[in-house]
Structure 1
Amino acid sequence: MNDDMELEGELRRAAELFDPVPPHLLQVASEAYRFRTIDAELADLTFDSLAGPVPVRGGEHPRLLTFGAAGSALDLEISETGTTNRIVGQVMPPREAAIEVRGPGPVSLTTDSLGRFTVDRVPAGPFSIRCRTGDVAFTTEWVTI
């Protein structure tokens, strides 16, 4: 048994030396492994201002959404700015995060140290946000604006 483990170790070292795995394949394999928990990473919609009563007074009111996942929350405010929309968001608890707005005209950005971000000129239609902070990554459901 011990001889088998020594042989396996030698074969691993030889493979690493003479036929290393290309870095892009390691990245693809890592992403595929993370994909196994895609259902666990889907953020729950915990608040949508369209689900409640509509204010009687005033003009247009922004749509407010809150998503929660993996001990984090993502607060969004969506407002119409002419022919496009504006998304203002914050990751809670506040911290830097990589944000990807998926949909028409995808956008990738990094929040500030308080977890805040703004995306202007978002076309009408469905969008989803992928948020990655450290080891935690989650995706919102698709929302139509």
Structure 2
Amino acid sequence: MLRDDPGWESDEVLLRELRAALAEERDVPEHLLQAARAAYTWRTVDAELLALTSYDSILDAGLAKRARAAQTARQLVFDAEGFSVQVEVTEAGVAGQVLPARPGRVWLLTATGPVEDAELDELGMFLLGPPPAGPVRFRCEVDGRTVMTDWVCV
């Protein structure tokens, strides 16, 4: 029914048409659900996730006791297939290295977006200022490859 057709002036006719349109198919077809799930899994295809798999100094019980007593740095290592981000977090800032060493860039991210970024030197090293309170992650772009670490509270 077109808007110029007689009957559209009545709310009852409009509601009847809307009801009929909505009643046609109440369930989302399974093939659309599968396509939506597949599209969702590809949302981060350009940014591989580096998991905190190797080392977190705060989880090392003996070192954690000494760190609390001496206020030493926290060390984190994030690894993925052939790629590693190693960081040391102190009150003064974040020092890190991306391996294998290649030119690139690293960003310190919070839930609200990038806080700071730095260029990687020839050894893959970088320096950033003190991280803000709350969860952070690192995003690295090296040789056209983008990787992001897990979120971690530092």
* TM-score of the pair, normalised by structure 2: 0.61
Alignment partner for residue 120 of structure 1, among 125, 129, 142? 129
Percent identity over the alignment is: 30
Structure 1 residue 37 corresponds to structure 2 residue 37: no
Residues 84-123 of structure 1: pairs in structure 2 closer than 5 A: 86-103=93-110, 106-123=115-132
Which amino acid is 1:120 matched to? Answer: G
Q: Secondary structure at the match of 2:102?
A: coil
- Cα distance change, pair 52–36 in 1 and its aligned pair in 2 (3 A): closer
Please report how far the alpha carbon of residue 36 of structure 1 lies from its aligned counterpart in structure 2 after TM superposition. Answer: 4.8
Please report how far the alpha carbon of residue 43 of structure 1 lies from its aligned counterpart in structure 2 after TM superposition. Answer: 0.5
Gaps of 5+ in 2: 1-41
- Cα distance change, pair 130–36 in 1 and its aligned pair in 2 (3 A): closer
Structure 1 residues 103-112 or 66-75, which shifts more? 103-112
Structure 1 residue 48 corresponds to structure 2 residue 59: no
**What whole-Å deviation, never above 9, does each CA across 1:78-121 have from its counterpart, x for those lacking one?**
0123xxxx111000112222111111661122111110011113
Please report how far the alpha carbon of residue 125 of structure 1 lies from its aligned counterpart in structure 2 after TM superposition. Answer: 1.7
Structure 1 residue 69 corresponds to structure 2 residue 80: yes
C-alpha RMSD over aligned residues: 2.2
- How many residue pairs were aligned? 107
Distance in 2 of aligned mates of 1:122 and 1:136: 24
Structure 1 residue runs of 4 or more that deviate by more than 4 Å after TM superposition: none
Distance in 1 of aligned mates of 2:66 and 2:56: 18
Q: Secondary structure at the match of 1:91?
A: strand
Distance in 2 of aligned mates of 1:133 and 1:93: 10
Structure 1 residues 53-62 or 131-140, which shifts more? 53-62
* TM-score of the pair, normalised by structure 1: 0.65
For the pair shown, the structure with the greater C-alpha radius of gyration is 2
Q: Answer yes or no: is the 8 Å Cα contact 2:102–2:143 preserved in 1.
A: no
- Cα distance change, pair 59–71 in 1 and its aligned pair in 2 (3 A): same
Please report how far the alpha carbon of residue 35 of structure 1 lies from its aligned counterpart in structure 2 after TM superposition. Answer: 4.1
